[in-house]
Structure 1
Amino acid sequence: MYPWLEDALAQLASRAVQQTLHHGLLICGGPQTGKRALAQALSGVLLCQRPDGNGPCGACQGCQLFSAQSHPDAHTIESEKQIGVDAIRDAINKLSGTAQLSGNKVLTIVDADTMTESAANALLKTLEEPTSKTYLLLLCSAPQRLPATILSRCERFTVTLPSSEQALAFLAQQGVSCDAATLRFFNDSPLAVLAADRDKQRFPADLFNDLRQLQARQLSAMAVAESWQEDAERMVHWIQRMVVDGLNTSASDETLLTFYRQCTQAIERIRQSGTNKGLLLQGLLIALAEGPLHALLKEDNLAG
């Protein structure tokens, strides 16, 4: 378990062992905060046949099956888009009988805030009248998107990001070199930094290196745009973050405000199918070079 979630897991696990855990738990938190890992660990406690205050025993049949991802009473729903009513109904059918191992049944719904209205309505009856020893773990980043009827029948548990010190210590333990300024560009999420390092993605230092070369005319806007196309939205978000930092020191700067709006419009267009991302990025980079680039590079502590 991630260090910043150990206390949360201990609290929930203790309630699970004491059988005081709410049957409908809404685990909320931003992207890459670790909420899925928390739900996974809690599921392990709920499906253990001999749990104690320290969590699952790790040796019983339930633990062995759960570790092998083949526990018959552990169910998960997730979708790359919306969660539809058929997926919810199928899961509810699996929960309707007695547990195959005669213990608890656990349904985890990943990104529950993407459920369609009919899917949420189908889940409602199970939340209102759950079958014996049934637990529903709903993970969501935007609980406001869920119907009030669902929210009112769940207990909300919020997962927060670690402090900067915790995050940097965790990353150091994972062998990832990072500082507070870089962490900020990943929305203070060490898991986002870890994923970027694992997948060999760009880091803010790459952004600033490209922008410095653009400023010195060692790279053209076209060349930078071409290299950014596969990661266009992330790069524009990072430029926008630079602008926000600039606005924090000069809130009335019309040049920055105008360019911030240009970034917002660019992100919207990037998300649309058929957009020529290279051409869009090139235009944005030209506007940046002719406008606030020098000031932004001078101010940001990653610029060197």
Structure 2
Amino acid sequence: MTEFSPWQQRAYDHAVAALDGGRMGHGLLICGPAGLGKRAVAERLALHVLSGGDAAHAQRSAALMAAGTHPDLHVVSFGLTKDGSKLRTEIVIDQIRDLSGKLALTPQYGAAQVALIDPADAINRSACNALLKTLEEPAPGRYLWLLSAQPARLPATIRSRCQRLEFRLPPRAEALAWLQEAQGHAPAAAQEALDAARGHPGLADEWLREDGLVLRKQIASDLDKLARGQLGVVETAQKWANDERADARLRHAADLALAQASAAGLTDTARLTKLAAWFDAANRTRDLLRTTVRGDLAVAELLLLWTRQMGEPRPTRAARG
């Protein structure tokens, strides 16, 4: 079983104490920044619930969960479109209705069932209404856990019916120790990556393992050159969209815009507004890449918006003369 990071262990211990002490209801919102291990904690909690404290049962449940065949664990995420060509960009009502039907059945092992919805903020409006009914009418021994990096996107009616298990960025010293001692990264590299990730150890680890810092610097350079008119939108969009790292490029681009927005603060509200809007546009484009939309066209539209909003103004004829 994979060893938890310190912040995962704290969240797990807190949740187990609440479960065992009868202080946790059926609805739980597990939230916090992406990349901190919420899903791993949720799955370990599910194992705790489904095994009922029995060691032999826990071993069997763990094997079934690893194979994705545990009959009392239901995971809802992005499903395929009707033609099977792409993953959906939202969780739809049919998925929630199917989940509700499963939760209405008698558990096959023990006396509990656990449902994980990840990412919960991708549930569309009609699916939220169906989910609300399930939250309002829980059956005994049924646990409905929603995982979200953006819980504010969930309707207030959903959030109000769930307890919260919140993940936060750990202290810098703890994050650095984990990167160096648990993940084996060199001290200087760990510090550079953690600074670039603004204290997020999960992102820092991912970037160190996948040359993410190199890619991030390339994206920063491309955005700067686009703003200066030194790089073409179409050629850059084709480079960004036409390989397996398209999503990573857009994630770095969105994060770089967010970092610039933080730097702008309240001293340049116009720039802050533009950067915030472009951050949202970049994340929407990431969603579009999972659809049948041509990736290079979607990225070209995004980069054209960047040049219009962030590009340096060209000198007037009088200024040039």
TM-score by length of 1: 0.73
8 Å CA contact retained: 2:179, 2:205: yes
> Identity rate of aligned residues, in percent?
29
- By how many angstroms is 1:6 displaced? 0.8
Deviations 1:156-177 (A, max 9, x none): 2211111222222222221234
**Residue type of the alignment partner of 2:115:** L
Residues 1-304 of structure 1: matches in 2 within 5 Å?
Answer: 1-50=4-53, 59-79=58-78, 80-172=88-180, 173-177=182-186, 178-203=189-214, 206-207=217-218, 221=231, 225=236, 229-230=240-241, 232-234=249-251, 236-237=253-254, 239-240=256-257, 243-244=260-261, 247=264, 251=267, 261=274, 265=278, 268=281, 271=285, 274-275=297-298, 277=300, 280=304, 287=311
2:318 is matched with: none
- By how many angstroms is 1:33 displaced? 2.5
- By how many angstroms is 1:30 displaced? 2.1
Shift in alpha-carbon separation, 1:245–1:23, aligned structure 2, 3 A: closer
- By how many angstroms is 1:244 displaced? 4.7
Within 2, Cα distance between the matches of 1:200 and 1:227? 21
Within 2, Cα distance between the matches of 1:10 and 1:168? 22
Within 2, Cα distance between the matches of 1:157 and 1:59? 23
8 Å CA contact retained: 1:105, 1:133: yes
**Residue type of the alignment partner of 2:250:** E
Within 1, Cα distance between the matches of 2:298 and 2:35? 28
* 3-state SS of 2:70 partner: coil
Deviations 1:210-248 (A, max 9, x none): 58xx8xxxxx74699589634553454465466457646
Within 1, Cα distance between the matches of 2:89 and 2:104? 26
Within 1, Cα distance between the matches of 2:305 and 2:157? 43
- By how many angstroms is 1:69 displaced? 2.9
Q: Which ranges in structure 1 are unaligned for 5 or more consecutive residues?
A: 215-219, 291-304
* 3-state SS of 1:138 partner: strand
Within 2, Cα distance between the matches of 1:12 and 1:96? 25
- By how many angstroms is 1:260 displaced? 8.2
8 Å CA contact retained: 1:74, 1:105: yes
Shift in alpha-carbon separation, 1:241–1:185, aligned structure 2, 3 A: farther
Give the total of aligned pairs: 278
**Residue type of the alignment partner of 2:281:** E
**Residue type of the alignment partner of 1:233:** L
Within 2, Cα distance between the matches of 1:193 and 1:24? 32
- By how many angstroms is 1:268 displaced? 3.4
8 Å CA contact retained: 1:49, 1:61: no
Question: What is the aligned-residue RMSD (CA, Å)?
Answer: 4.0
- By how many angstroms is 1:206 displaced? 3.5
- By how many angstroms is 1:266 displaced? 8.8
**Residue type of the alignment partner of 2:70:** H
8 Å CA contact retained: 1:47, 1:66: no
- By how many angstroms is 1:251 displaced? 3.6
Within 2, Cα distance between the matches of 1:205 and 1:186? 10
Within 1, Cα distance between the matches of 2:105 and 2:272? 58
Moved more, 187-196 or 259-268: 259-268
- By how many angstroms is 1:48 displaced? 1.3
Within 2, Cα distance between the matches of 1:263 and 1:135? 36
Moved more, 67-76 or 86-95: 67-76
TM-score by length of 2: 0.69
* 3-state SS of 1:127 partner: helix
Deviations 1:33-69 (A, max 9, x none): 3221221111111111325xxxx77854333323433
8 Å CA contact retained: 2:91, 2:123: yes
